[in-house]
Chains A and B, each alone.
Chain A
Amino acid sequence: MFWNRVMETIRPEELADLQLKRLKWTLRQAQEVGLYQRKFREAGVSPDDIRTLDDVEKLPFTYKSELRAGYPFGLFAVPLREIVRIHTTSGTTGKPTVVGYTCNDLENWSELIARNMTMIGLGEDDIFQNAVNYGLFTGGLGFHYGAEKIGMTVIPSATGNTRRQIEMIEDFGVTAIHCTPSYALHLAEVAESMGKTLDTLQTGIFGAEAWSENMRVELERRLDLKAYDSYGLSEMYGPGVAFECLERSGLHLWHDFYLAEIIDSETGERLAPGERGELVITPLTKEALPLIRYRTGDVTRLIDNECACGRGQKIEKITGRCDDMLVIRGINVFPSQIEHVLRSLPEVGEQFMVYVDRVKHLDEMAIEVEMTRAGFSGELKDLARIQKMIAGELQSALGIRTSVKLVEPGSLPRFEGKAKRVVDRRGVL
């Protein structure tokens, strides 16, 4: 099943022409942004120098930190009156990264989701429960509008209240669900405890976290559905960048919307076809927030063999990150955000350790911090108050609940080289 057969099965030479045309358009759009005027000047390139697709290598990379530095609207290429939607994603320090959308951007984004969902056989007859955070997180509204576009019956259930979610699946006869893979496991467990078999559920779309083939087997067994991987990032609209087809051996990246490169994250050099490295994307149609060679930080490779479904080149399921970003319950967390919060609190030192565990299939983050002299009055109740205050500050900065543990000064490890402050004990999902 195709949503847009022409574009989904476009021949390579035609695709290359289209990509080049759109790349040139994107460069003109980027010229509207102060950051890119400066970056092109510093790199000694002008959009006119880009005559072939391979010329993209002459262009400078864009980093997440540059998006953050442009907070809030510094990277928008259109006036605010043309922006119809704002989403944000956690940045590496206190400020979030802001992404904006024009009407056309939202239309393009829905098109991508529509393609993805049609590709796995979903359509008008399906009842779709969108069990992800609605709001600033792109996963909620992104899937919502794409699902409506193809005529599904959409239940914007959002997150939380798992028992109610299960009742809805049963009472409404839900056939497809979208959530994080870890939440899906939690859902399975609660359903089992309630004695519910969720017979109508046939399709699971899982994203916002990296997950393994073992996890797929477990989810399919316990929820009795077919599980599909969804990949995206807010900087590229949100979910929808790449998606598994019925073959489920790699994710189809939509090459008419995204120009993908795989690079060595250390040297920035482009890798040979099929080699695994950092995914770098130049979106080709973005009006509000054009980006040039955006460093996703996600590790994958381009798969060369043709897919039986007839669509274009796939990427391998994301296997990890090449920076220290953590994904906790679908939310991006950088250790530097934690550091930023702790620095502002005189009661604790700047040393910290983060432990990430999976408890009952949900991610839990514990943070150890050292007491300072200023933080210790001698009274237990003051310590409990400090602990609560730190957890509150972290929650407002990170958007997730953490458990804070106070430890003795000098007891946390000191690092001479690159600090290893994060101990992720979740293993691969």
Chain B
Amino acid sequence: MEKPYIIKQISIFSENRPGRLAAIAGALRDAEINIFAFSIAEANGFGVVRALVDRPEDAHRRLTDLGFRVSFTEVIGIRMRDEPGGLSEIASVLGDLGVNIEYAYAYSGRDGAILIVRVDRIEDAIRQILDRGGELLKTPSSR
């Protein structure tokens, strides 16, 4: 039952220099792949571009063909109320459940606000969030 809620995020290794994001975004544009959330994490001289896209397998293949180092990472998307206190509510739930967040990013769009999190014990986390009445994003293919 947890499977549909595990979302494949694509993670792309990128040097920290001008034009790298443009190259990645351009490749996805040419393949007509839509990005609905993304973030950049940076370390010493390099970074990882993380993105949720509508066709992750295609994106992976396309970017790999172009020479990028790409891998899938499993994340979950938690729906939040798009009003004051929305994030606090979700963060408290995760904290109470003892789920550790490795990293997170969020977007707020037409269908509300979504918190994308990379957690330890992902299946456990999904089950408990659903049990607590939380609402999770489903993977694009099963929507």
Footprint of B on A, CB under 8 Å? 371-373, 375-380, 383-384, 387, 405-411
Contact = CB atoms under 8 A, between A and B. Distances in A.
Contact of A408 (B9, B11, B15, B71): B15
The 4 closest A-B pairs by CB, nearest first: A378-B11, A378-B71, A376-B69, A378-B73
Nearest to B41: A380
Contact of B15 (A373, A378, A379, A407): A407
A376 B103 CA distance: 17
A403 to B, nearest CB: 8
Given A371-B69, A373-B69, A379-B48, A384 B43 contact: yes
B93 to A, nearest CB: 24
B43 A409 contact: no
Given A408-B15, A411-B15, A380 B72 contact: no
Contact of B48 (A372, A378, A409): A378
Interface string B44-67: 111110000000000000000001
B68 interface: yes
B43 A371 contact: no
B14 interface: yes
A383 B14 contact: no
A371 B13 contact: yes
Contacts of B68: 408-409
B59 to A, nearest CB: 13
Given A371-B69, A410-B67, 12 more contacts: A371-B13, A373-B69, A378-B73, A379-B48, A383-B13, A383-B46, A387-B44, A405-B46, A406-B15, A408-B13, A408-B14, A409-B68
A379 B69 contact: no
B13 to A, nearest CB: 5
Q: Range of interface residues on chain B? A: 20 to 34
23 contacts: A371-B13, A376-B11, A376-B13, A376-B70, A377-B71, A378-B11, A378-B70, A378-B72, A378-B73, A379-B11, A379-B73, A380-B47, A380-B48, A383-B48, A384-B43, A405-B44, A405-B45, A406-B15, A406-B46, A408-B14, A408-B67, A408-B68, A411-B15
A176 to B, nearest CB: 42
Given A408-B68, A409-B67, A380 B43 contact: yes
B71 A376 contact: yes
Interface string B87-104: 000000000000000110
A373 to B, nearest CB: 6
Contacts of A383: 13, 43, 46, 48
Contact of A384 (B11, B44, B73, B102): B44
A407 B132 CA distance: 43
Contacts of B15: 406-408, 411
Nearest to A375: B69
A223 to B, nearest CB: 35
A280 B67 CA distance: 48
Contacts of B69: 371-373, 375-376, 408-409
Contacts of B73: 378-379
A373 B103 CA distance: 23
A332 to B, nearest CB: 27
A371 B46 CA distance: 11
Contacts of A377: 71
A375 B20 CA distance: 19
Contacts of A375: 69
A411 B67 CA distance: 10
Nearest to A406: B46
A222 to B, nearest CB: 33
Interface in B30-47: 41, 43-47
A349 to B, nearest CB: 11
B60 to A, nearest CB: 11
Given A376-B69, A377-B71, A378-B72, A406 B11 contact: no
A377 to B, nearest CB: 6
Contacts of A409: 67-69
Contacts of B43: 380, 383-384, 387
A161 to B, nearest CB: 27
A406 B70 CA distance: 15
A377 B14 CA distance: 13
Contacts of B45: 405-406
